[in-house]
Amino acid sequence: MTDSLFSPMTIRDTEIRNRVMMSPMCQYSAEEGLATDWHRVHLGSRAVGGAGLVMAEATAVEPRGRITPEDLGIWSDEHAEALAPIAEFVAEQGATPAIQLAHAGRKASTTRPWDEGGPLQPDEGGWETIAPSDVPYPFENPPKTRRMTKGDIDDVIEAFADAAERALDAGFEVAEVHAAHGYLLHEFLSPVANERDDEYGGSFENRTRLVREVVEAVREVWPDDKPVFVRISGTDWIDDRPSWDREQSARLGPLLIEAGADLIDVSSGGIHRDQDLPHAGPNYQVPLAEAVRREGEVPVAAVGKITEPEQADALVRNDRADLVALGRELLRNPYWTLEAAHELGVDVEWPPQYRRGRFE
C-alpha cells in the first residue's frame, strides 16, 4: 500500500499519526531561556491543529549556544521543568512532542530579528562566541569568536547529552540534533567556517567527526524505543570556494544513521552571507532531501515552500520524503493539517471542542 500524507509512521517504537511535521522555528520569546505561555500556545495550537509531529524550536544546550538572549534553553533542570507542561499538552492532543537541541556557535550573541538581528556586544549583554576557527560570522562588527579547544569540544558533546536527558525527563519523544543553518555543528561540517588542521578539520571524515560524536552521545542517553533526528543543511549554496554540498550530505546520511540517528531533516544554507540561493519556489529544497534519501537509503524530512495539501501528499506518495516539514505555512495557519485532510478526502479526528467547526 502506498504511503500518503496521512499514513502513520512508526520509527523505532514511536508512532507518528501522520507525515506532517511542524518545523522548529525560533520564537525569541523565552525568559532567561525558560519557556513561557507563548511557547505553550504556539506549539500546542499546532498539535490541536492536527500535525503529526510538533518540534520545539532550536533549544540551546548551554547559555553561550543561544542565538539571542531570548532563545529557549535546556541547560538546567529548571528549563526542562518549564518545557514539561508543553510536551505533555502536545502529547495529549495526539501529536508527537519533539525538540531540537542546538548550539549557535559563531552565530550566537545577536539581537532578535525584529530588533535588527545584528551582533550583540558584551557590553550590551552579549558574549564571546565559539566556533571551529577564530573566524567570526560576517556580521558588521561581530563579537569576538574563539577557536574551540579539545576541551571545549568535549564540553559541547557533554552539553548535548545532558540536554537530551533533560528533554527526555520533560516528556519529549523525539530529539533532533541541529547541524544546519550555519550554527555550530554545521560550522564544523563546512570548509567555509572550518579552517582546522586537527582531527576535527580538513578531510570529510574529520569535519563530520563532531556531529557524529554528538549523535552518538545523544543516542546513548536516549531510549532505544524513541527516535533521534538530525537536521542538516543539504548545501551551503556556495560554489566559488570549498563548501558543504549535496554530495557530502548524501555521504553523511548513512554515517549519522550508523551513529544512532533515525531520520535526516534536510534544509539548506545559513553558513555565510555569500550564499547564492536559487529562486525559492515550491519544493526548492526537496531535491536535497531526495539525494540523501536515495543515495544513502536514509529516511528524510523535506522542507521548504511546501504549502499545498496535494503538494505535500505527493512528496510522500512518490517516495520523495518520509515526513513533510512545514514552517511558515503553519505560522499562517495552525489548522493547516485538519484542512488538508478535508481537501484530500481523509477522515481524521478533530478535538471535541472544535468538532462543531468541522467541514461538512
User: Which residue, 34, 33, 1, 4, is CA-closest to 19?
Assistant: 4
Percent of the chain, pLDDT > 70?
Answer: 100
**pLDDT of 159 higher than 70:** yes
Q: Helix or strand or coil: residue 264?
A: strand
Q: Which of 49, 40, 57 is nearest to 20 (CA)?
A: 49
Nine cell digits for residue 55: 518540534
- Number of domains the chain contains: 1
Q: Which cell numbers hold the place of 196?
A: 582546522
Query: How far is Cα 127 from Cα 62, in angstroms, rounded to an integer?
Result: 12
Say whether 360 sits in a helix, a strand or coil: coil
Average pLDDT over residues 171-181: 98
Active-site residue list: 183
147 three-state secondary structure:
strand
**Segment holding 166, helix H or strand E:** helix 150-170
Range of the domain at 157: 9-357
What is the pLDDT averaged over residues 181-195? 98
Residue 192 lies in a domain: yes
Query: What is the DSSP-derived secondary structure letter of residue 201?
Result: S
pTM of the predicted model, to two decimals? Answer: 0.97
Residue 4 lies in a domain: no
**Is 19 a domain residue?**
yes
| 222 found inside a domain | yes
Q: What is the pLDDT of residue 117?
A: 83
Residue 57, SS3 per DSSP:
strand
Which tens digit of pLDDT belongs to each residue from 305-346?
999 999 999 999 999 999 999 999 999 999 999 999 999 999
Instruction: Place 181 in a pLDDT band, splitting at 50, 70 and 90.
Output: very high
Q: Read off φ and ψ for residue 116, nearest 5 degrees.
A: 90, -25
Please report whether residue 138 resides in a domain.
yes
What pLDDT was estimated at residue 116? 85
pLDDT category at 122 given cuts 50, 70, 90 is confident
467541514: which residue's cell? 359
Q: Does residue 2 fall inside a structural domain?
A: no
Convert the pLDDT of each residue in 26-55 to its tens digit. 999 999 999 999 999 999 999 999 999 999
CATH number at residue 288: 3.20.20.70
Contacts of 41 (CB under 8 A, 6+ apart): none
pLDDT of residue 1: 59
Residue 351 lies in a domain: yes
Residue 150 has pLDDT above 70, yes or no: yes
* Mean pLDDT, residues 258-267 taken together: 98
Chain segment 275-312, per-residue pLDDT in tens: 998 878 999 999 999 999 999 899 999 999 999 999 99
Please report the pLDDT score of residue 273 as a whole number: 92
| Element containing residue 170 per DSSP (H, E) | helix 150-170
Residue 3 belongs to a domain: no
Per-residue pLDDT averaged across 347-352, rounded?
A: 95
